[in-house]
Amino acid sequence: MHVANPMKSFPSPNSDDRPEGAIVDTVVIHATVLESIEDVIRHFEATDSRVSAHYTIGRDGTIVTHVPEDRRAWHAGQSRMKDGRTQVNDFSIGIELVNRNDGVDPFPASQIHALRRLLKSIMSRHAIQFIVPHYACADPPGRKSDPAGFDESWIRDLLDENTGHPSGTR
C-alpha cells in the first residue's frame, strides 16, 4: 500500500453494468470520511456496504482501483447534475480522496498531484465534460458535504486547458 505504482486493484462487488449506450462524461470527487486507504478497501469489499468508487487516492498519493471504468460504481447515490440529469453513477467515474471530511483535515499536495494525474489519464480515455464535487451533484442539494474543504481551483484548469469545455463546477 505504500507503493504508488503500479496501481493495485481491490475489486468491489458493489458495482454493475452501465446502462446500454451510457457515455462517461463526468467525474465525481468524494472524501472518504474513513481514515485510511485500507479502511476504504475493506468498506468497498463488503457486500453489505452497497457502495464503491472507481478509485481511491491516499494522502500520500497512492492510487488504488476498485471498479473498472466501463462498469458502474455505486458512489453518487441519489444525484442530479446542473443540466438536470439524474442517476449520475450511470455516466460518471467516482474518485475518493482519503480525508476526514471535517473541512479542517487538509488535502496534501501529494494527494492533489495524484488526483490531477489520474484525471488527465481518465480524460485521455473519455470525453469528460464535468468534474464535480459530490456536494454539487447530491440530490436533494445539501444531502452530501464531501469533499469538504476541497478547492475546485486545484482542478478547474484541466478541462479549460485541454478541451475548452466549462468545468461544470461553477
Say how many C-beta atoms besides its own lie within 10 A of residue 99's C-beta: 26
**73: phi then psi, degrees, rounded to nearest 5:** -90, 160
With contacts defined by CB under 5 A, name the span among 15-23, 26-34, 35-43, 44-52 that binds Zn ion. Answer: 26-34
The interface with Zn ion within residues 130-169 (CB under 5 A) comprises 134, 146
Beta pairing, strands 92-97 & 55-57: parallel
56: which 3 cell numbers?
481511491
With contacts defined by CB under 5 A, name the span among 15-23, 25-33, 64-72, 149-157 that binds Zn ion. Answer: 25-33
96 tagged catalytic: yes
Smallest distance, Zn ion to C-beta of residue 148, A? 10
Helix axes 109-125, 153-162, angle to 10 degrees: 30
Q: How far lies 132's CA from each of 5, 29, 116, in Å?
A: 26, 6, 14
Smallest distance, Zn ion to C-beta of residue 120, A? 22
By the rule CB under 5 A, 54 interacts with Zn ion: no
The catalytic position among 45, 69, 96, 161 is 96
Closest by CA to 27, choosing from 160, 124, 131, 136, is 131
By the rule CB under 5 A, 72 interacts with Zn ion: no
The site map against Zn ion for 75-114 (x = CB under 5 A) is ----------------------------------------
Local structure of 153: helix, strand or coil: helix
Return residues touching Zn ion (CB under 5 A): 30, 134, 146
Instruction: Return the active site residues.
Output: 96
